[in-house]
Amino acid sequence: MRSRSRPGVAGRDADRSQAVLPQRDGRHRPHQLYIVGIGPGRLEHLTLRATEVLRSVDCVAGYSLYIDLIQALIDGKETLRSGMMKEVKRVEAAITAAMSGKTCALVSSGDPGIYAMAGLVFETCKTKNIRLRPHGPTETDRAEAPALMVEVVPGIPALCAGAALLGAPLTHDFAVVSLSDLLTPWEVIAERLEAAARADFVIVIYNPKSKKRDWQLEAACKIILAHRDPATPVGIVTAAMRPNQEVQIVPLQKLSSVEVGMQTTLFVGSRSSIRYLEFMFTPRGYSTKYEIR
């Protein structure tokens, strides 16, 4: 139950001088790993912090498509590219690079903590018994040389990028569920969908379909339709803020016949979500308490 105030993280300039320009005297220079979210795709949706970190590090690890998206920022740097489904290998390569003394950024699209690489970094470090420390100096152990200093740099997640294009579907309580049953049993996914539908959450669905997973979306629709009006608006966003972006809103009853893919995120409205022109939104309840004229 230890409290961390992390003055170095909060004090911006002090923090940056150590993080981005580590001491070059070779003594007590901490090994540094950044887990960086690059947002939905276009460089303008990266944060300034993510941009700075990517410019400063020695090497960048990631899925090849994501490295291509940020190539303009990291030209000339060492890259550790890997293919889809190679997550374990990719994370191990990034940790190995950082432990060898290079500053390394492991990149994920969207936010690195939502269905992305951050969890696997911590899981791997725990398994390997690597001593991790939050980024920045702390009050108690500034003098120690930790095994690995880690900073998760948040990015705009697909759920925010998609919601922004649709209007405001997430202004009230929502649940986020992945339909990928590669690592999670379908029974667990189905139970979560049922619970979220019954309790009237807006439901954000990641990974609705892939070449090999072609029946889960229809099964999910059946579960949700048991608790929600067939006319409920559903936002379908594919490749948000990328050149091939597609945005549409359909009634829930038509969702299972719509074309979706690996880059699609779905936003199933709650009982109070409303479609207005080309947008959908979920009221928070102001109109029942205040008069909007």
- Interface with a copy of itself in residues 192-231 (CB under 8 A): 192, 194-196, 198-201
Indicate the SS3 state at residue 173: coil
Using the structure block, give the residue that is written with the tokens 């189905």.
190
Comparison of 80 and 164: residue with beta carbon closer to a copy of itself: 164
| Residue burial 256-292, b: 16+ Cβ < 10 Å; e: rest | beeebeebbbbbbbbeebebeeebbbbeeeeeeeeee
- Specify the residue, 78 or 284, whose C-beta has the smaller distance to a copy of itself: 284
Q: Tell which one of 24, 27, 212, 293 touches a copy of itself (CB under 8 A).
A: 293
The least distance separating a copy of itself from the CB of residue 25, rounded to whole angstroms, comes to 26
Pick from 156, 144, 124: nearest CA to 48 = 156
Residue 77 touches a copy of itself, criterion: CB under 8 A: no
Nearest to 35 by CA among 78, 98, 89: 98
One residue of 26, 48, 75, 187 binding a copy of itself per CB under 8 A: 48
Closest CB 216 distance from a copy of itself, rounded Å: 14
Q: Does 136 bind a copy of itself (CB under 8 A)?
A: no
With CA atoms as reference, report the closest residue to 103 among 12, 46, 32: 32
The answer to whether 49 contacts a copy of itself (rule: CB under 8 A) is yes
Q: Is position 172 an interface residue for a copy of itself (rule: CB under 8 A)?
A: yes
Q: Does 140 bind a copy of itself (CB under 8 A)?
A: no
Binding to a copy of itself in span 236-255, by CB under 8 A: 241-251, 254
Alpha helix ranges (H) inside 179-261? 186-198, 216-225
C-alpha 179/C-alpha 216 separation (Å) is 7
List the interface residues with a copy of itself, window 257-276 (CB under 8 A). Answer: 274, 276
Q: Candidates 14, 18, 47, 73: give the one binding a copy of itself (CB under 8 A).
A: 47
Cβ-based nearer residue to a copy of itself, 78 or 141: 141
234 in Cβ contact with 289 (< 8 Å): no
